[in-house]
Amino acid sequence: MNPFLATDGYKTGHHLMYPKGTSLVYSNFTPRSDKHFPDSKGYIISFGQQMIMRQIKGIFDAHFFGRNKEEVLNEIKSEYQMYLGSEYDISHIARLHDLGYLPIHVKAIEEGSRVPIRVPVLTIYNTLPDFYWITNFLETLISNLLWKPITSATIADAYRRNLLDWAKMTDIDNIGFVDFQGHDFSMRGLSGVDSVIQSGLGHATSFLGSDSLPVIYGARKFYDEDGFVVGSVNATEHSVMCAGGASNGEEIETFRRLMETFPTGPLSVVSDTWDLWKVCTDYLPALKSEIMGRDGTLVIRPDSGDPVDIICGKEFTTISKTQWPTLDAAFQAQVAAMTFKNGGLDSEYTNFLYGDIYYEIYIDDTNDFRYRIIKTPEVKGVIELLWETFGGTTNEQGYKVLDSHIGAIYGDSITLARAQQICSRLESKGFASTNVVLGIGSFTYQHNTRDTLGMAMKATYVEIKEVKPLVSGNTKTTLHQREIFKDPVTDDGVKKSAKGLLHVHRNASTGDLELTDQVNWLMEAQGELQTIFVDGNFRNITNLASVRKLVRE
């Protein structure tokens, strides 16, 4: 697309609206608020600046500078005039085409860094006075391309921190498993392949597992990776299971055929096409010797229901007589009718179904009446059922770890809250959090906007050359350096911008990045904002491996 058609419509006239003599515009891109994503803990992950500048340069080179001047200018003039309904002077754009490159200086915080909210991750200004307008003309494109990789990288980091904490608590010897425990399942739910690359690479800053293959292309193109980027395993889908047949014998033969087809390595089999609990309690025990004899892990994949309950089972409920008045009246009546014959417990009716849940009625050690949920497969959950059949080991921290021949993954509707609940519930049952992989999908990565982390690009400094005629006939040129800012009285403070030239440095005590505004050019040139692009050329190139290393520090 012609880059002059890849912007907000109001940008078309801004070059005429700056004060006469404007020669420089300096802007920054900053995450302003995490009120819509408090799990960020006040920080974002700096990521994507190199990618989006390579994208922007590619767009300009291919669709503006690389095209015939008359053709491309006529296209812009024709479209702008129809859009605005008036004559449009394209001379400023013609001069840019003659120049042949983008006269801008872009600086960024090192990608992979943890950056506090309200500290800029990118600054940009024009390098030639005639092109003061190009700085904020690029605002829309920069914002459009950059908010998603930063947001997804920050969300992935929140998942990783959560999973790391639980792994350290329950299976510290298997801490490396976390690299693959968060698996990207989001591609089909994102808004296009470009979105998959932006978001998927953000995910890949924290995790090595992904089913979004465009991430590999993006890593090679924008981050020069030539080795491993992300990986996955052989896995079935529902059509494969359906094609094998729905009867008991047919489904178990599908499992057997799949293991024969893939005799080694991990193999993930979607297991809830019909009856997940029958798979766990009938088929897998029948196939135990074949599964245990296989050189690899058979991964069971539920794909529907409440992920916390499916993986961990339903929680037990135990109620004493003192809590009896709080129970549902119909429940009380049914229990009373079955259990309080002759003032005691009638063993004939100790187990019963109420709603969809099986209950057991019993007398505790204090002769108090109680009830509890019977441990049906639904109550046990997938991990406990797999443990009952295949066993495993108990690690030094006292948590159960499934045998390496069997595992589980859940990839439907996982959220940060559910990931936390799954790990917590597994821990409470004595299982290590590393017994399950979580597929993180579009429910996590698509339900976000630029406002999730309050991303905005704003100008904070301009230079204006004022030329005045003198009585002598000569002229006097005065350079006005204006520190500009916005601070709407009707806002809650989120939209208040920094002022003037910016300097980002590390706090000597905490190591956190901090912003100092209203500095001079000498101080602006120092600090943590490093040049990544100037006058069409890239500087300080990074790669995905370096980004990942920094995220993990």
282-295 pLDDT, tens digit each: 999 999 999 999 99
pLDDT in tens, 180-192: 999 999 999 999 9
Average pLDDT of the chain is 91
- Residue 351 predicted with pLDDT over 60: no
E strand or H helix at 353, and its extent? Answer: strand 351-354
What is the four-CA torsion angle of 338, 340, 342, 343, rounded to 10 degrees? 170
Q: How many helices (H) and strands (E) does the chain have?
A: 20, 23
Distance between terminal CA atoms of the chain? Answer: 39
Q: Domains (ranges, CATH) in the chain? A: 3-153+448-552 (3.20.140.10), 321-367 (no CATH)
For position 354, what pLDDT does the model report? 62
- Give Cβ neighbours of residue 428 (< 8 Å, ≥ 6 apart): none
Buried b (16+ CB within 10 A) or exposed e, 184-215: bbbbeebeeeebbbbbbbbbbbbbbbbbbebb
Q: Does the pLDDT at position 238 exceed 90?
A: yes
Q: Tell which residue, 396, 350, 390, has the closest CA to residue 374.
A: 350
Q: Contact, 341 vs 369, CB < 8 A?
A: no
The Cα 96–Cα 85 span in angstroms is 24
Provide the pLDDT for residue 474.
Answer: 85
Burial class (CB in 10 A: 0-12, 13-18, 19+), 328: exposed
Average pLDDT over residues 428-454: 95
Cα–Cα distance between 236 and 117 in angstroms, integer?
42
C-alpha 117/C-alpha 30 separation (Å) is 8
Give me 347's structure tokens: 């063993």
Q: What is the pLDDT of residue 345?
A: 45
* Rounded Cα–Cα distance for residues 506 and 512 (Å): 5
CB atoms within 10 A of CB 533: 22
The three-class DSSP label of residue 34 is: coil
Tokens found for residue 231: 């990986």
Residue with token string 């911008």: 497
Classify the C-alpha dihedral 29-35-36-40 as positive or negative: positive
**Quick one: pLDDT at residue 348?**
44
Please enumerate in sequence order all residues whose Cβ is within 8 A of that of 237, keeping only pairs 6 or more positions apart, or say none.
Answer: 270
Comparing 300-304, 480-484, 490-494, 496-500, the range with the smallest average pLDDT is 490-494
Residue (of 179, 405, 409) closest to 307 by Cα position:
409
Place of tokens 């499916």: 310
341 pLDDT above the threshold of 50: no
Q: How confident is the model at residue 343 (pLDDT cuts 50, 70, 90)?
A: very low
- pTM for the complete prediction? 0.90
Residue of 489 and 119 predicted with greater confidence = 119
The band of 488, judged by pLDDT with boundaries at 50, 70 and 90, is: confident
Separation of alpha carbons 201 and 211, rounded Å: 12
**Contact predicate 401/434, CB 8 Å:** yes
Q: Rounded CA gap, 314 and 93, in Å?
A: 65
Q: What is the pLDDT of residues 246-274, one digit of tens each?
A: 887 899 999 999 999 999 999 999 999 99
- The DSSP annotation for 456-519 comes to EEEEEEEEEEEEEE-TTS-EEEEEEEEE-----TTS-STT----SEEEEEE-TTT--EEEEEEE
- Residue 407: strand pairing partners: 299
Give the phi and the psi of residue 396 in degrees, each rounded to 5. -65, -20
At residue 368, the pLDDT reads 57
For residue 319, what is the DSSP state?
B
Indicate whether 53 pLDDT > 80: yes
Alpha-carbon gap, residue 330 to 336, rounded angstroms: 10
Q: How far apart are CA 216 and CA 197, in angstroms?
A: 8
Mean pLDDT across 344-367:
57
The letter for the amino acid at 115 is V
Largest CA distance in the chain: 120
**Is residue 433 over pLDDT 70?**
yes
pLDDT score for 1: 92
What are the structure tokens assigned to 1, written together?
């697309």
